[in-house]
Amino acid sequence: MQAKEQFSCGIVIVAAGRGERAGSLRDGPKQYRPIGGRPVITHTLDVFATWPREKRIVVVIHPDDETLFDDARSQVSGDTSSITFTHGGPTRQLSVFAGLKALEKSGISHVMIHDAVRPFIDHALLDRCFLALAEGSDAVLPAIAVADTLKRGSPDGKVVETVSRTGLFGAQTPQCFRFLPILDAHANAAASGRSDFTDDASIAEWAGLPVTLVEGLADNVKLTIKRDIAMADEKLSRNRLPDVRTGNGYDVHQLVEGDGVTLCGIFIPHDQKLLGHSDADVALHALTDALLATCGAGDIGDHFPPSDPQWKGAASRIFLEHAARIVRDNGGTIMNADISLIAEAPKVGPHRLAMRENLAAMLGISLDRCSVKATTNEKIGFVGRREGIAAIATATVVYAGDGK
């Protein structure tokens, strides 16, 4: 038992491959293809970054992929400060060796080596591997007992024999090792001209290290061909929460003597008018703020400063349509808009349908998604004294993506 030794874990994520089997090169390397709205490798890094143990992560990438990698790393939800990268070599084996060498000076006692294109690992699997290392294993291999009946075939497509599957396992990653022995094994393999090992447990076996099996994870599949990536995307999309966002807005304008007010773009003759730099349509101003709020785009004053003379007397439709365009440019679909007007007068009821039709036209959505309501303020406060009109608005927008 070596459980008492200082345990510090390095993680090597192998991501230097070109992934030719996963489709045309035009689509880019498979570890950077999107599944569930984010690159494959981002999902993989998420699991390690959120694993609550001290670790240093080195990602081995192709020299051409630095931009792709930076973008993928920026989308990781966990702490990314422990994630660095190094360049890989021409084979998987040499890429792992480069990753191990990048960790050589960090003083780690153990290392986990994982394929970037296995994004469905979980913390329970990492814990099983960790436990086996902590109990003193030199090398740990997560694996799944082979379930299919195995056949040996001949070159002309005939079954030669049925191979007993007893004692046969499919190897997965992360494959985990005491650091110095696997670094030595890799150095010796490279020095002796071997560069064709397809996993690290094989190198450990070649170097005479005992390899301990731990239970793998059925979901921990390697995304190899284009169809694997499509299936992974479908699986994540099924579980994805819709990115529904709600924004609210509030506005007040002062009433003074005049000939009418404009609400939701409808002019209503009245013995007062609303004061404001633009047409003072409180309803559309509140809704403009509600829409901007769904994508963190500030408020109406940021986009249309009252100090700017070009908005003097402007129709507020311009403001609302601008906000709707920002929402759409951010990938949003407006689901509904709801405005409550708070005014003693004029009466809104007779104009409500025309107001809703205006909203539907300005937002490009159906009439049943647009609502206008009105209430008095029971003669209380500034609204009750007819000193002003207030409006409260709510907008719901569904955005593309998975809400991260």
* Of 346 and 388, CB closest to Mg ion: 388
Quick note: the x/- pattern for Mg ion over 207-246, rule CB under 5 A, is ----------------------------------------
Residue nearest to Mg ion (CB): 285
Nearest to 266 by CA among 374, 378, 387: 374
* Of 280 and 363, CB closest to Mg ion: 280
In three-state form (DSSP H/G/I as H, E/B as E, the rest C), the secondary structure along the chain is: CCCCCCCCEEEEEEECCCCHHHCCHHHCCHHHCEECCEEHHHHHHHHHHCCCCCEEEEEEECHHHHHHHHHHHHCCCCCCCCEEEEECCCCHHHHHHHHHHHHHHHCCCEEEEEECCCCCCCHHHHHHHHHHHHCCCCEEEEEEECCCCEEEECCCCCEEEEECCCCCEEECCCEEEEHHHHHHHHHHHHHCCCCCCCCHHHHHHHCCCCEEEEECCCCCCCCCCHHHHHHHHHHHHHHCCCEEEEEEEEEEEEEEECCEEEECCEEEECCEEECCCCCCCHHHHHHHHHHHHCCCCCCHHHHCCCCCHHHCCCCCHHHHHHHHHHHHHCCEEEEEEEEEEECCCCCCHHHHHHHHHHHHHHHCCCHHHEEEEEECCCCCHHHHCCCEEEEEEEEEEEECCCCC
213-247: buried (b, 16+ CB within 10 Å) or exposed (e) per residue?
bbebbeebbbbeebebbeebbeebeeeeeebebeb
From the list 11-19, 220-228, 285-293, 312-320, the region that binds Mg ion by CB under 5 A is 285-293
CB of 285 to Mg ion, least distance (A): 4
Residue 289, interface with Mg ion (CB under 5 A)?
no
* Of 115 and 289, CB closest to Mg ion: 289
* Of 206 and 250, CB closest to Mg ion: 250
- Cα maximum dimension of the chain: 98
CB of 390 to Mg ion, least distance (A): 10
Residue 285, interface with Mg ion (CB under 5 A)?
yes
CB of 50 to Mg ion, least distance (A): 44
Residue 317, interface with Mg ion (CB under 5 A)?
no
CB of 280 to Mg ion, least distance (A): 7
* Of 65 and 251, CB closest to Mg ion: 251
CB of 293 to Mg ion, least distance (A): 15
* Of 103 and 342, CB closest to Mg ion: 342
CB of 64 to Mg ion, least distance (A): 52
Residue 251, interface with Mg ion (CB under 5 A)?
yes
From the list 166-174, 283-291, 321-329, 363-371, the region that binds Mg ion by CB under 5 A is 283-291
Contact yes or no for 340/391 (Cβ under 8 A): yes
CB of 282 to Mg ion, least distance (A): 6
CB of 277 to Mg ion, least distance (A): 8
Residue 38, interface with Mg ion (CB under 5 A)?
no
| Size, binding site for Mg ion by CB under 5 A | 2
* Of 110 and 285, CB closest to Mg ion: 285
CB of 253 to Mg ion, least distance (A): 6
* Angle, alpha carbons 164-168-173 (nearest 5°): 155
CB of 368 to Mg ion, least distance (A): 27
33 burial (CB, 10 Å; 0-12 / 13-18 / 19+) is buried
From the list 9-17, 103-111, 249-257, 383-391, the region that binds Mg ion by CB under 5 A is 249-257
From the list 7-15, 67-75, 152-160, 282-290, the region that binds Mg ion by CB under 5 A is 282-290
* Of 18 and 277, CB closest to Mg ion: 277
* Of 115 and 281, CB closest to Mg ion: 281
* Of 254 and 376, CB closest to Mg ion: 254
- Summarize as ranges the residues that interact with Mg ion (CB under 5 A): 251, 285
